Each structure stands twice: as C-alpha cells, then as structure tokens.
Amino acid sequence: MNKIEPAAPEAPPQELSPRDRQPRWRGLEAGHRACQGCGEALAARLVLEAAGPDIVVTNATGCLEVFTTPWPQSAWRVPWLHSLFENSAAIASGVEAAMKAKGQRTKVIAMGGDGGTFDIGFQALSGMLERMHNVLYVCYDNEAYMNTGIQRSGSTPHAAMTTTSPPGKERMGKRHMKKDLLSIIAAHHIPYAASTSVSFPADLRRKVRRALDIEGPTFLLVHSPCPLGWGHDASRSIEIGRLAVECGLFPVVELERGELGGVMPIREPRPVADYLKLQNRFRHLFADDHRAREEREHLQALADHNIDKYHLRGDGADPLDTAGIDTVRRGGPLR
C-alpha cells in the first residue's frame, strides 16, 4: 500500500543580506582591512569582477597586499601571489611562462601601486612589456607611498604635500612633475595601454575586459583616491576622483600600439582649484600669497595642456563622457 508522505513544509523565505543579493562574482571579498573610502580596494574589486575567476593575480608589496592578507585570512577568491615590492611584473612574467608551458589559457593580472610601478618596479615592468608577456598590469595610482605613511613617489603631482615633500618657507610641496608613465608605457608599443578612474566603474570594467581579450601585454592606470593620503573625507573619494578627470589633471585615455585611441571627453571642464581645495595635500596652495597663486596657475596650466594634448574637450553631451551614464550620483551632481 502506498503511503502518501505529507509534503514537507515550505521553508520560510530567508532574508538575504545585501551582500548575498549581490549578483556579481567577487574575486576580492568584503571584510578586508582597507580604510573607509579606499579607492584602491574598490578599484581592485571592480577589476576582479570584470576579469572573472579564471585568472592568477600577482601583487606588489603595498596597501593592497597588506589589507587583504593578514595571515591566516585572505580576501582573495582567485589564486594570488605576493613576492616583493618591485617584482610584481616579473613574477607575473613567470606565472605566464608557466601557464604557456602547461598549455593553459588562464590570464595573469599583475597589480601594484604607483610606488611599485612608477618607481621601484619600473624596470621589471618595462622588461615584461618588452618581452610581450600575456599579462594585464594594473597600477592603482594613489600618487604617493601610502602604505609607509604618505611619502612622495614619481607619481605624486607637482606641488602636492607628502611627508617627504612638505611645504615650508623654501618649498611648495613636491618640486617635480608627475611622471608621465602612460606615455612611457605606450612607447613600448604594446597593444593596449589605458588610464581610467575608480570614479567611472563602467569605464574601468570595460577597459579590463578589453585588455584581457588582447593576447599580449596590456596596461591599465587606475586613478584611486586615498582619503588618508590626500586628506579628504572618506565619503568623497568618488567625487574627488571624478573631479580629477573633469579638470583635466588625470586624463582618461586609451593608447593602442602607442597611438591615441579613445578618450573620455570632458563635458564641462572644471577649474583645477575645485579639485585641489577638497584635499589637504593641496591646502598650502590656497594661502594668500604669490607662491600659492603661482603653483595653482601652474597646475591649471598642466590640466589645460592635458585637455589640448588629448583633445579631451567634448562637443555636446555624450553618454560616455565625464557626466554621462557612468557617473555615480549621490544627492545629485556635485556643484
């Protein structure tokens, strides 16, 4: 005789946390120890979302390595290798060579900050590009050595205050210019080199996907605000990153085999001062003296030069320009 089993009571619908409702795959998990408002942490998460799980990440010494892997914990869901400060590109070359030797298609992404890329890791990076390794190198550019406590790097903008470029009677912050790394990278004639900003997440994701589709070395410079190092409120990282692009100081461009490909047009260029005044690292530029005025003008001229050089001025509204659909708005546009 068949016994009819009573139907199991339906499980009550479980309340999913916002994180569990997150539909995207996450290569870099939440719960790491980055500061509030960390541009680099968000940028790394976005890079990994776009890249998907079939990758190996190599990581230079720096904030990203420190805040994601305090033993015995790790925030990485992808295979991850950290060796030293200056060899992220070289160990990535090795991982890629191993993949090639084994006939695997897994893509390698090398990561580093601006210190590990513009300065100490520059030689290894140049070698990796010259040898045409199939690696995407991502530089999270927060424009100083933040992990050691905000010292100037080759990427620190002119006149910015850091602990090793303090303003004083004889100095107005960093004396030298920000190294034009992207041009140097492009001079290797690699298939694809681009800049992007954490403030334009769709642009960032698109560039990661495009770079990963290319067989050969590719390079992405990601402008990543650092509330601690730049001296701004943690809630304003995205706004400040956007202002850097909108004023022309950080041009968002694509270079293919050394030639200018696409740029992100600026719908309405903002004065550099709008960007500078939100950050403590430029506070000395707003003193009421001629030196401050001179440096502000200097920085404005640099931004204008970028706008001319890369033809950044948009002609009319464009969904892909600085005020387009990619703009994250919270409480309306910043005015």
Binding site for another protein (CB under 8 A): 53-56, 58-59, 65-66, 69-72, 74, 76-84, 86-87, 90-102, 106, 123-124, 126-127, 130-131
Tell me how far, at minimum, the Cβ of 211 lies from another protein, in Å.
18
Q: What torsion do the CA atoms of 220, 226, 230, 235 make, to the nearest 10 degrees?
A: 120
Nearer to another protein by C-beta: 74 or 235? 74
Helix axes 39-51, 201-213, angle to 10 degrees: 50
Quote the least distance from Cβ 60 to another protein, whole Å.
11
Residue pair 243/275 in contact by the 8 Å Cβ criterion? yes
Give the residue with the Cβ less far from another protein, 4 or 71: 71
User: Alpha-carbon distance 94 to 84, whole Å?
Assistant: 14
Closer to another protein at the Cβ: 110 or 299? 110
Nearer to another protein, 95 or 312 (CB): 95
**CA torsion, ordered 293, 296, 300, 305, to nearest 10 deg:** 100
Task: CB nearer to another protein: give 59 or 279.
Answer: 59
Provide φ and ψ at 139, rounded to 5°.
Answer: -105, 120
Q: Which is nearer to another protein, 76 or 310 (CB)?
A: 76
How far is the C-alpha of 63 from the C-alpha of 66, rounded, in Å? 5
Question: Closest approach of Cβ 107 to another protein, in Å?
Answer: 10
Query: Closest separation between CB of residue 229 and another protein, Å?
Result: 20
For the bound state, the minimum distance from the C-beta of residue 304 to another protein, rounded and expressed in Å, comes to 37
Residue 27 Cβ, how far from another protein at the closest point, in Å?
A: 9
Q: Which is nearer to another protein, 52 or 231 (CB)?
A: 52
Cβ atoms of 59 and 81 closer than 8 Å: yes
- Alpha-carbon distance of 39 to 140, in angstroms, equals 8
Cα dihedral: 171, 174, 177, 178 (round 10): -170
Backbone phi, then psi, for 78, in 5-degree steps? -120, 160
Q: Which of 299, 194, 296 is nearest to 251 (CA)?
A: 194
Q: How far is the CB of 233 from another protein (least distance, A)?
A: 28
